[in-house]
Amino acid sequence: MDAFAEVSDLGLGAALGEAVLSLQGATLDAELNRIVGSVFRHSTAAYVRERPRPGADDAALFCAASPETYYVLSGKNGNYNEADVHKLNVLASLTSGLFATRAQLDQRHSASAHAQLQQMQILDQIHESVITMDLAGFIISWNRGAENLFGYAAGEAVGKNILFLYEDEELDGLRLFDAFLEQGGREMEVRRRKKSGVVFWASLSLSPLCDPGGQPIGIIGYLSDITQRKEAEQKINHLAYYDALTDLPNRSLLRQLLDKSISQAQRNSTLSALLFVDLNRFKPINDTLGHQVGDALLRQVAERFRQALREHDIVARLGSDEFAVALPDINQHYHASLVAQKLLATMDAVFQVGDHELRIGASIGISVYPQDGGDAATLLQKADIAMVKAKRNADRISGSYAFYNHSMNQITAGRLYLESGLRRALDNDEFSVSYQPKVDIRSGKIVGVEALLRWKHPEKGWISPLDFIPLAEETGLILQLDAWVLETACAQARVWQDLGLAPFRIAVNVSAKEFTAALPVRVDAALSRHGISPQWLELEITESMLMHSAESVIAIMEQITAQGVVLALDDFGTGYSSLSYLKRFPIATLKIDRSFILGIPADRNDCAIAGAIIVMAKQLRHKVIAEGVETREQLNFLLQAGCDEAQGYLFSRPVAAEQISILLEKDFRDYS
């Protein structure tokens, strides 16, 4: 085994290399002293930084570890063997080689640092912002251009991840580097944030940063501020797509937005509608009073239209006195007619332009996707044709509207005719109230009545509640109708009270819109106004109104029942009432919907549902009344199931108030 192998076997080769290549100064000296001492266990050995002086120990061995340092072996008084000399020579040779390698590495590092310094000096002369990053996005270098652009000094930016400069919407760039490496260089326009917090537009160009082997180790980003150019582009774009007078989208942008909404309606299987609006009597105003007045009037019209529409609806000015409204998603065709009515209603109020009080109207044509067309151009054309029809048929100051589809026009016209008649009916005393008895199944006696609204149209005769009640709810007239029924029922109770009749409950239906914090006040006022006991009144509410704001609903209920008025839950079983809430509602009666009574006793499901409702109501200590009872078989089932009361044609149809006095004397157990 040679001396080199012996040194390696001692495990000191790696320690020697690590010491020379990584340590300096006193730390290096101490480690080399430890190593040489380990090699020569039975003698005095040392690593020194100067050659031993003659006479110090003439019997010592020494060998150069580097031009300036030596290994010294002493203490044997000249008795050194061949192995000692070889060990010392090998150790010195290894150390010398390592020092030479270190000198080369230091030279290369110095050259690299010098090159990097030169590179940074060059980059600092570039006006453009240059940033280098590793593949994880951490900043490696930051030139003076970047300092000027972002306001961060190099010391503040180097070492941070590039994401700290991103605007929020740019954070989807988290895959930026992966995509860059897959696809190559990228140029893009981005938004970045300065140290001051200002967000600006920048042109960003990316290039790869590779090692000598061509493998990517990072990315170089070149940025320049293009905010002024982007703002100029936005101004040009606005001029190209928006009306200068009203700041509404113009015809070109409308067609783009409408085509987009049609695509969305196609995906969602919904309807989309377009309203073409032409102002009536605008031209004489513009010609007589001048363009300044005309322009001011158009701006007011545009603002009224904006206020009348939903946030995602689109209103545009097509030119002159023509506007268009796109409704991106509607559930039914007639919803477009409701919007048309809202737009026409905006014309009712006087337009004040300077000293001039002006009145104008509009004609509106409606086309609907998909039946009238599958693109913006077709829908615009069809709506324009329908607008001409509406202009010919205008019969109101504010104007009128028409659908392109004739059959739909007839349906809508019928609804509009019914609505206008509904608004007149209260003033013309066309409404009346009929009363349908509620019978105690066991005693056969009337224990209450339900007040039912009836409408006799002067031309069409009796109108079904199924036709006019939903329309009244849509238009908001239901509040006036509910108030009128409550007043009429209380007035009738006073008549019956004056006749000496014992109080019985008159059930009045209350709509969801009326069930507000003001209802208890109105009920108390009506009772006081007519001087009747609360024992005369019962309010019927539906399940649907209990599903929203249950806590506030319960509070209103408790105020009503505190007055002595009882509450009944109508149409039970057709809604989605939570049973956990139901037990908290101060309800006296559950009313089984007639849809569950019709199939009794033949339909096992109807029997099961009706029976379950009765059992549950009994557990909650509520009375149960079944509506729509028409046969003896139905009544027998309800009697056996434990139902308390029944209402239906088996006993009586709704009748005039005068007939109730007679029916009160009747025993309905014989059902004759």
User: CA distances (Å), 515 to each of 48, 184, 470, 541, 599, in order?
Assistant: 102, 65, 17, 9, 32
Mean pLDDT of 3-29: 67
Q: What is the pLDDT of residue 380?
A: 92
Q: What is the pLDDT of residue 558?
A: 92
Tell me: pLDDT of 233 over 70.
Answer: yes
User: CA distances (Å), 63 to each of 43, 47, 67, in order?
Assistant: 16, 10, 10
- In contact, 7 and 13? CB cutoff 8 Å: yes
Q: What is the pLDDT of residue 104?
A: 73
Identify the DSSP state of 274: E
Instruction: State residue 616 phi and psi, 5-degree precision.
Output: -60, -45
Mean pLDDT of 611-615: 90
- Closest C-alpha among 385, 426, 420 to residue 405: 385
Q: What is the pLDDT of residue 535?
A: 94
Instruction: State residue 268 phi and psi, 5-degree precision.
Output: -95, 0
Torsion sign (Cα): 15, 20, 21, 25: positive
Tell me: pLDDT of 501 over 50.
Answer: yes
Least confident of 48-57, 79-88, 144-153, 424-433: 48-57
| pLDDT, averaged across the chain | 83
Q: What is the pLDDT of residue 183?
A: 47
**SS3 readout for 246-259:** CCCECHHHHHHHHH
Tell me: pLDDT of 274 over 90.
Answer: yes
pLDDT-derived band at 506, boundaries 50, 70, 90: very high
Alpha helices, H only, 56-143? 82-125
| Helical packing angle, 291-308 and 282-289, nearest 10° | 140
b/e for 197-211, b at 16 or more Cβ within 10 A?
A: eeebbbbbebeebee
User: CA distances (Å), 254 to each of 242, 388, 440, 629, in order?
Assistant: 9, 20, 64, 56
pLDDT-derived band at 224, boundaries 50, 70, 90: confident
Tell me: pLDDT of 170 over 60.
Answer: no
Q: How many CB atoms lie within 10 A of CB 334?
A: 17
Tell me: pLDDT of 121 over 60.
Answer: no
Q: What is the pLDDT of residue 496?
A: 95
Identify the DSSP state of 508: E
Mean pLDDT of 49-59: 67
Least confident of 199-213, 335-349, 613-627: 199-213
Distance between CA atoms of residues 307 and 327, nearest Å: 15
Mean pLDDT of 497-512: 92
Q: Where are the beta strands (DSSP E) in 517-606?
A: 537-542, 566-572, 589-592
Q: What is the pLDDT of residue 541?
A: 87
Concatenating the DSSP letter of every residue in 152-196 gives --HHHHTTSBGGGGB-GGGGGGGGHHHHHHHH--EEEEEEEE-TT
Tell me: pLDDT of 381 over 60.
Answer: yes
Alpha-carbon radius of gyration of the chain: 47
Least confident of 42-51, 217-226, 503-512, 577-586: 577-586
pLDDT-derived band at 548, boundaries 50, 70, 90: low
Tell me: pLDDT of 419 over 50.
Answer: yes
Q: What is the pLDDT of residue 108?
A: 61
Mean pLDDT of 444-462: 92
Q: What is the pLDDT of residue 410?
A: 63
Long-range pairs, 648-655, Cβ under 8 A, ≥24: 648/594, 648/597, 651/437, 651/439, 652/436, 652/437, 653/436, 654/434, 654/435, 654/436, 654/450, 654/452, 654/454, 655/434, 655/435, 655/436
Q: What is the pTM of this model?
A: 0.47
Q: Where are the beta strands (DSSP E) in 388-466?
A: 399-403, 431-440, 446-457, 461-463
pLDDT-derived band at 623, boundaries 50, 70, 90: very high
Model pLDDT for residues 98-111, shown as the tens digit of each residue: 787 777 776 665 55
Model pLDDT for residues 62-81, shown as the tens digit of each residue: 787 787 787 787 766 667 78
Mean pLDDT of 471-498: 90
Q: What is the pLDDT of residue 172?
A: 47
| SS3 category, 552 | helix
Q: Is 348 exposed, middle or buried (0-12, 13-18, 19+ CB in 10 A)?
A: exposed
610, amino acid identity: A
Mean pLDDT of 321-333: 88
Distance between CA atoms of residues 206 and 284, nearest Å: 61
pLDDT-derived band at 2, boundaries 50, 70, 90: very low
- Closest C-alpha among 30, 25, 69 to residue 51: 69
502, amino acid identity: A
Return the structure tokens found at 617: 């109501």
Least confident of 118-132, 253-267, 271-285: 118-132
Query: Among 47-61, 127-141, 163-177, 403-417, which range has the highest average pLDDT?
Result: 127-141
Mean pLDDT of 571-588: 68
Tell me: pLDDT of 620 over 70.
Answer: yes
pLDDT-derived band at 431, boundaries 50, 70, 90: very high
Distance between CA atoms of residues 259 and 457, nearest Å: 44
Q: What is the pLDDT of residue 279?
A: 93
Q: What is the pLDDT of residue 8?
A: 46
Mean pLDDT of 568-584: 67
Return the structure tokens found at 414: 């019928």
Q: What is the pLDDT of residue 181?
A: 47
Distance between CA atoms of residues 663 and 439, nearest Å: 11
Tell me: pLDDT of 261 over 80.
Answer: yes
Distance between CA atoms of residues 33 and 39, nearest Å: 10
| SS3 category, 589 | strand
**SS3 readout for 113-127:** HHHHHHHHHHHHHCC
Q: What is the pLDDT of residue 311?
A: 84
Mean pLDDT of 287-294: 88
**SS3 readout for 26-63:** HHHHHHHHHHHHHHCCCCEEEEECCCCCCCCCCCCEEE
Which H or E run includes 647?
strand 645-647
Concatenating the DSSP letter of every residue in 339-403 gives HHHHHHHTTSSPEEETTEEE--EEEEEEEEETTT-SSHHHHHHHHHHHHHHHHHT--STTEEEEE
Distance between CA atoms of residues 438 and 444, nearest Å: 10
